[in-house]
Amino acid sequence: MLDGAVRIRLTALTASFRAPSFVAYQLSLAVPPLATIFGLLSAARGHWVMPHEVPWLAYRLTYAARAMDLEAIYSVERKDAADTPRFKERNIVQREFLVSPELDLFLPAEWRDPFLRPRYQLVLGRSQDLATVSSIGPASLEPVSTGPVTGVLLPAEVVARNGVTAVLQNLPVAFTPDPERAPVRVTMFGLIDGKRSTRGLQFVTIEDGAGWLVRDRESGVVVPLYRQEWILDGR
Amino acid sequence: MSLHWTGQPFVDAGLAALLAASGASRLSDVTATHLDIAVRELERILLSDQALGIGLEKSFAKGTLSQVFPNSELVNPSNWSKGPEGVRAKYRTALKEDLARAKEALHAERGDRLCGICGELRPSAGFVMLRRDRFPLLSGAVNFYPGFLSGVALCGLCALALRFSVASLLRVGERGRLWFLHCPSDIVAARIAQEYGWGHFRRLIAANQPLDFYGDWRTSGNSGAILCLLCQLLRKFANQLRTIYQHGIPTVAYVFSNDNRGGYVEGIPVPTSILDFLQSLYLESVDAFDQFERELLRVDTGRDKREEAQRARFVATIADRIVRAEPIVGASLVEQRLLGGWIAHRTYLREVNGMNEAVLALLERTGIALAQHERGKKLIGRLERAPARDVRAVLLDLVREGVLSGRELAALLPPNEPTSAQIVRDVLLAVVYEYQRCNEVGESFPRLVGGWAIPEPDEVVRRLERIAADLIRTLPNRRQWIADLMTARKTAQIRATYLRALRSGAMSLVDFLFLVPLGDVTQAWVLRDYLLAFLFELGREAVPTDIELVEGEEGATDEVSVLAE
């Protein structure tokens, strides 16, 4: 049981989490990768937060719709590693985004203050996806073996164990600070879509949580909990 | 370090094809020897005359393949300046280098650099920077690469795997788009590559025809191609695939175009319930499985253009609905006929839409009763024309006629689920049409076998049943009271009728408040209908048979109205 946790709800008009598999085609993932959450924590605290600074975290993201935006870019050309990057031409690219995202973050109690007064602007994706903290409340997470989930990232083995519909993606769990920004670890996740429809949220029932699931007693939300050891070493 | 699925769709597609060509049975069993075998096969196929288009009208390498790997070694004009042998030499050299890096990565215990694709630590020396000529869907512009890097750095194994992805790609048949199934299963993914990649290429080479991706689906739309592939796989490799289909593995179909003039990529997750459905249907009846595919997913050529276009639109709509796990029975009712067969629809309703087997059996029984009813034509016509909000009234008439009980009505259309009216209507019509067709051709209707008990009613339904029983026992002038309740046009008239029962002591104040809750007009009409159902059932002799049931406009909910449209 994790008493004294906080549940932070962030809302925004838009969000975009670029699927890393398609570099030039900006499809958005339905759920942000862990690396994006660490970016959010870094913005709130005002310095680069690495996984060893967070004992555990859990989250889910729901959204109202997907939409496609067109944006102008100034293409940068670089023929090879030795070539200097230079602007080439103006072009139009498509960018997928999520509408009205709601991110529920469950964190240890010490994260209450950074999110009450974030050091930098919070965003759900890129700089235009401005987010706001709409509520911060107490949470009490208890382990559960089964439960309905939506808008979450599940480790691939949990997805396989339960045979649920998911989109598999290899995603970074965190990045090292600038200038290298190398992934700390990359692993395969199953994304459970959290689109809100007129009939409400559609849940996927996980019958065998394999020790991953927790339920917030206050809100009833079931989410996978990522422990620090797993984020760092996959154990 | 062994090979494993990565989660990167193109690399996994390549790994599947590599596994199929290598002869290994599992990805984790792949050794350096297997890599050699697979590379030899890739080289044999892609450097064949039929791939390069030598002596043939079309060149796969410079045509379709260049859409996947633009300006690759097989396309680059400078390589072609020395003729086909120049191209072959260039490709062999590049492949040899990739193979060496892959072997190094396979042998290394643990490297010092993390591969962003497979997530393994590999030796830095084995990394290679790939651009769009080697990695599908990368951009020529470097805006999207971290730090404006000149490409994406991959370990040797992932880079080699990408070369193999060609044997996992399929053609949709529309607008030159290609697709593949991202399905990290040693059996399914390798089978697809074996049958529709390598096998297809070998057959074309043997017939001295130019290579191309497999795309003979005779269907319409992206979803149609996906479903036809799943059907074909199940038919061809039923034994091997059964376990996979039963357990369901995350499967996403990626449809893409890497065309310079307008790239496109879309990921279409295939719900695991669809795999369950196909598997269950195949096990239940191969004929029903064939009928489902033939009538709902196939577009035959040879019709006139207009008919063919119409059929293509129909198939694309149905297939899209299936892939989104939406109900299809309504869309399959065409000219008073059910396309796809009742067995398939019944299985779909159970496996995909989650309909209870007892409710399905009840719908079957009700539909058949409707078809056999002496006023069947009129009732069926009413059901065909009924918008969703009027379906309850039609079923209520069946209760009045004794075809359904009050509890059965509540099981078919639970009071708290107004949205189920549309699907109940569609399923009833489907059963009616199929029953009529069976009678015409002298077949027996394929009814569900077994005795099914309808689910226990909830508290609301039990309470309505109890109120109805009290009313039947204690109401003076029951017949007139029921007639007044049936013909009420306004909520106020319903309330007035209940008040009469309250005044005569046949109804308690608590029940009165339950039946006409303050400020909830819709609920008052819903509860009236179910109360009438139990009154019809329990006091049959007091039910007027010559009075039309009135459904007041106030009872329509927005949600049901929208569905009806």
E strands of B197-288, at which residues? 251-257, 264-270
What is the distance in angstroms between the Cα of B149 and the nearest Cα belonging to chain A? Answer: 7
- Considering the domain architecture, whether residues B69 and B209 belong to the same structural domain is answered as yes
Distance of alpha carbon B383 from alpha carbon B400, whole angstroms: 16
| Final residue of a structural domain among B430, B456, B482 | B456
Q: Where are the domains of chain A?
A: 2-77+90-233
Give me the pLDDT at residue B560, please.
41
Q: Is B7 on the interface with A (CB under 8 A)?
A: yes
Interface test with B, best of A94, A168, A173, A231 (most B CBs within 10 A): A168
Q: Within a domain: residue B552?
A: no
- Considering the domain architecture, whether residues B63 and B122 belong to the same structural domain is answered as yes
Cα angle at B467 between B463 and B471, to 5 degrees? Answer: 170
Q: Within a domain: residue B181?
A: no
Cα dihedral sign for B414, B416, B422, B423?
negative
Q: Is B416 on the interface with A (CB under 8 A)?
A: no
List chain A residues with CB under 8 Å of B265: 22, 25, 27
Cis bond upstream, residue A177 (ω within 30): no
Residues B264, A25: C-beta atoms closer than 8 Å: yes
pLDDT tens, position by position, A114-139? 999 999 999 999 999 999 999 999 99
Q: What's the pLDDT band for B449 if we cut at 50, 70, 90?
A: confident
Question: Taking phi first (over 0 means left), then psi (-120 to 50 degrees means alpha), and beta for anything else, what does residue B148 get?
Answer: left
- Considering the domain architecture, whether residues B84 and B202 belong to the same structural domain is answered as yes
- The answer on pLDDT for B513 being more than 80 is yes
Give me the pLDDT at residue B21, please.
96
Interface test with B, best of A169, A170, A178 (most B CBs within 10 A): A170
CB pairs under 8 A between A and B: 125
Residues B148, A78: C-beta atoms closer than 8 Å: yes
**Identity of residue B12:** D
Find the residue in A nearest to B185 (Cα): A160
Cα angle at B365 between B364 and B366, to 5 degrees? Answer: 95
What is the distance in angstroms between the Cα of A165 and the nearest Cα belonging to chain B? Answer: 5
Which of A23, A80, A188 minimises the CB distance to B6? A188
Distance of alpha carbon A150 from alpha carbon A153, whole angstroms: 9
In this prediction the pTM is 0.85
Distance of alpha carbon A111 from alpha carbon A118, whole angstroms: 10
- Considering the domain architecture, whether residues B223 and B204 belong to the same structural domain is answered as no
Percent of chain A with pLDDT over 90: 73
Which of A27, A166, A179 minimises the CB distance to B265? A27
Looking at mean pLDDT, say which of A40-49, B60-69, B220-229, B294-303 comes out highest: A40-49
pLDDT tens, position by position, B275-318? 889 989 998 999 999 999 999 999 987 778 888 889 999 999 99
Neighbouring CB atoms inside 10 A of A117's CB total 9
What is the distance in angstroms between the Cα of B159 and the nearest Cα belonging to chain A? Answer: 14
Q: Which two tokens stand for residue B462?
A: 């039990």
What is the distance in angstroms between the Cα of A156 and the nearest Cα belonging to chain B? Answer: 9
What is the distance in angstroms between the Cα of A47 and the nearest Cα belonging to chain B? Answer: 20
- The answer on pLDDT for B558 being more than 50 is no
- Considering the domain architecture, whether residues B252 and B233 belong to the same structural domain is answered as yes
Distance of alpha carbon B247 from alpha carbon B260, whole angstroms: 40
Summary mean pLDDT of chain A? 92
- Considering the domain architecture, whether residues B194 and B107 belong to the same structural domain is answered as yes
**Identity of residue B496:** A
pLDDT tens, position by position, B343-354? 999 999 999 998
Distance of alpha carbon B390 from alpha carbon B383, whole angstroms: 8
Mean pLDDT of B17-29: 94
Contact assessment for residue A201 and residue A30, using Cβ atoms and an 8 Å cutoff? no
Find the residue in B nearest to A21 (Cα): B8
Find the residue in A nearest to B130 (Cα): A80
Q: Which two tokens stand for residue A185?
A: 């670890």
Percent of chain B with pLDDT over 90: 50
Cα angle at A190 between A184 and A196, to 5 degrees? Answer: 115
List all residues of chain A from 147 to 176 with a beta carbon under 8 Å from chain B: 156, 159-160, 163-172
List chain A residues with CB under 8 Å of B152: 23
| ipTM score assigned to the predicted complex | 0.91
Interface test with B, best of A18, A87, A165 (most B CBs within 10 A): A165
Summary mean pLDDT of chain B? 88
Find the residue in B nearest to A74 (Cα): B143
Residues A168, B150: C-beta atoms closer than 8 Å: no
- The answer on pLDDT for B6 being more than 80 is yes
Query: What does DSSP say about strands B121-122 and B113-114: parallel, antiparallel, or unpaired?
Result: antiparallel
Q: Within a domain: residue B4?
A: no
What is the distance in angstroms between the Cα of B248 and the nearest Cα belonging to chain A? Answer: 5
Find the residue in B nearest to A188 (Cα): B7
List chain B residues with CB under 8 Å of A79: 150
CATH classification (class only), A2-77+90-233: alpha beta
Q: Within a domain: residue B563?
A: no
Q: CB-based contacts of A222: which residues, under 8 Å, 6+ apart? A: A144, A147, A148, A149, A206, A213, A214, A215, A216
In terms of pLDDT, which residue wins out, B45 or B305? B45
Residues B116, A83: C-beta atoms closer than 8 Å: no
Residues A168, B247: C-beta atoms closer than 8 Å: no
**Sheet with strand B264-270: strands edge to edge:** B170-171, B178-182, B251-257, B264-270
Contact assessment for residue B143 and residue A75, using Cβ atoms and an 8 Å cutoff? yes
**What is the rounded (10 degree) CA torsion for A17, A21, A25, A30?**
-30
- Considering the domain architecture, whether residues B224 and B155 belong to the same structural domain is answered as no
The greatest distance separating any two alpha carbons of chain A, rounded to the nearest whole angstrom, comes to 56
List chain B residues with CB under 8 Å of A185: 114, 119
Q: Which two tokens stand for residue B379?
A: 């009732």
Residues A77, B142: C-beta atoms closer than 8 Å: yes
| Final residue of a structural domain among B335, B353, B371 | B353
Mean pLDDT of B451-477: 88
Mean pLDDT of B501-512: 93
Find the residue in A nearest to B247 (Cα): A163
- The answer on pLDDT for A173 being more than 80 is yes
Give me the pLDDT at residue A59, please.
98
Which of A20, A76, A81 minimises the CB distance to B141? A76
Distance of alpha carbon B37 from alpha carbon B139, whole angstroms: 32
- The answer on pLDDT for A37 being more than 50 is yes
List all residues of chain A from 55 to 84 with a beta carbon under 8 Å from chain B: 73-81, 83
Find the residue in B nearest to A154 (Cα): B250
What total number of domains does chain B contain?
4
With CA atoms as reference, report the closest residue to B461 among B394, B527, B555. Answer: B527
Residues B146, A168: C-beta atoms closer than 8 Å: no
Residues B8, A21: C-beta atoms closer than 8 Å: yes
Q: Within a domain: residue B553?
A: no
CA atoms within 13 A on the CB side of B197: 28
- Considering the domain architecture, whether residues B341 and B434 belong to the same structural domain is answered as no
- The answer on pLDDT for B252 being more than 70 is yes
What does residue B31 show for φ and ψ, rounded to 5 degrees? -115, 180
Which of A27, A160, A186 minimises the CB distance to B119? A186
- Considering the domain architecture, whether residues B25 and B144 belong to the same structural domain is answered as yes
Residue-number span of the structural domain to which B341 is assigned: 217-353
List all residues of chain B from 134 to 193 with a beta carbon under 8 Å from chain A: 137-152, 182, 184
Query: Which residue has 């995603």 as its token pair?
Result: A171
E strands of chain A, at which residues? 2-12, 14-15, 56-62, 65-77, 86-99, 102-107, 131-143, 147-149, 152-155, 167-175, 183-192, 196-197, 200-201, 204-206, 213-216, 222-227
Mean pLDDT of A24-51: 94
Q: Is B130 on the interface with A (CB under 8 A)?
A: no
**Identity of residue B420:** S
- Considering the domain architecture, whether residues B203 and B80 belong to the same structural domain is answered as yes
Distance of alpha carbon B92 from alpha carbon B39, whole angstroms: 10
Find the residue in A nearest to B269 (Cα): A167
Give me the pLDDT at residue B175, please.
59
Q: Is B9 on the interface with A (CB under 8 A)?
A: yes
Q: CB-based contacts of A215: which residues, under 8 Å, 6+ apart? A: A141, A142, A144, A147, A221, A222
Task: Give the SS3 label for residue A20.
Answer: coil
Find the residue in A nearest to B558 (Cα): A198
Percent of chain B with pLDDT over 70: 95
- Considering the domain architecture, whether residues B161 and B17 belong to the same structural domain is answered as yes
| Strand (E) or helix (H) holding A151 | none
- Considering the domain architecture, whether residues B206 and B80 belong to the same structural domain is answered as yes
pLDDT tens, position by position, A202-225? 899 999 999 999 999 989 999 999
